[in-house]
């Protein structure tokens, strides 16, 4: 399964993703490629694959990206190869991407194996508060992120599940429940046919 997690910036998807991955050995994280500069402490291949615009353009031309989009003047995309490797190794893949990427994956050949979850903040003032507390961006960047939040939130209706992240622990438990239930779908258990025949 491919699990897509989207939200406006500051709604908690990165925090929840990290926690979820720590407790789910059969879940791997899809590391995106980006043209943005690394932040302090970020490592190439861990948080992102950091690329120049020319390198990113070459990846698009070669068909090496499952999805891609431009956000805040930087390009972001999902390299196909690591996703295919994870699937071949029997792992589910978690994506931390925006609505544009979610739509592209849903419309791809892997769309039938995709489940999308959108995280809503408890309120717009709380979203701004979280962005300011994070201390990663200046006031101008926070303003741009808040503007983009309205666009992100307007696409909530295109997701399979929508959770209001007003309590981090509760939201994480709800997400675990969704993942467990999805893995237990009959279509995700091909071994059942042999079990029933036996």
Contact criterion met (CB below 8 Å) for 32 and 80: no
pTM for the model? 0.87
User: How far is 54 from 185, CA to CA, in rounded Å?
Assistant: 42
What φ, ψ does residue 74 adopt, rounded to 5°? -115, 150
CA dist list (Å): 193 to 187, 188, 198 = 10, 11, 9
Contact criterion met (CB below 8 Å) for 25 and 86: no
pLDDT per residue of the chain (198 residues) written in tens, 0 to 9: 999 999 998 888 888 999 999 999 999 999 999 999 998 899 999 999 999 999 999 999 999 999 999 988 899 999 999 999 999 999 999 999 999 999 999 999 888 899 999 999 999 999 888 888 877 778 888 888 888 898 899 999 999 999 999 999 999 999 999 999 999 999 888 899 999 999
């Amino acid at each position: 399964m491919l699990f897509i997690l989207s939200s406006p910036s500051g709604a908690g998807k990165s925090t929840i993703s990290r926690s979820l991955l720590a407790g789910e050995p059969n879940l791997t994280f899809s590391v995106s490629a980006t043209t943005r500069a690394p932040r302090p402490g970020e490592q190439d291949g861990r948080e992102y694959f950091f690329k120049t615009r020319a390198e990113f353009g070459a990846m698009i031309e070669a068909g090496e990206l499952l999805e891609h989009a431009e956000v805040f003047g930087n390009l972001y995309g999902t390299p196909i190869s690591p996703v295919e490797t994870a699937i071949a190794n029997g792992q589910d893949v978690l994506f931390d991407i925006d609505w544009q990427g979610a739509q592209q994956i849903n419309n791809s050949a892997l769309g039938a194996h995709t489940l999308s979850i959108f995280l809503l903040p408890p309120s717009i003032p709380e979203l701004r508060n979280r962005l300011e507390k994070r201390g990663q961006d200046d006031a101008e960047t926070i303003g741009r992120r808040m503007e983009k939040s309205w666009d992100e939130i307007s696409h909530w209706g295109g997701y399979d599940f929508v959770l209001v992240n007003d309590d981090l622990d509760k939201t994480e438990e709800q997400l675990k429940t969704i993942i467990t239930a999805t893995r237990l779908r009959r279509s995700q258990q091909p071994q059942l046919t042999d079990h029933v025949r036996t």
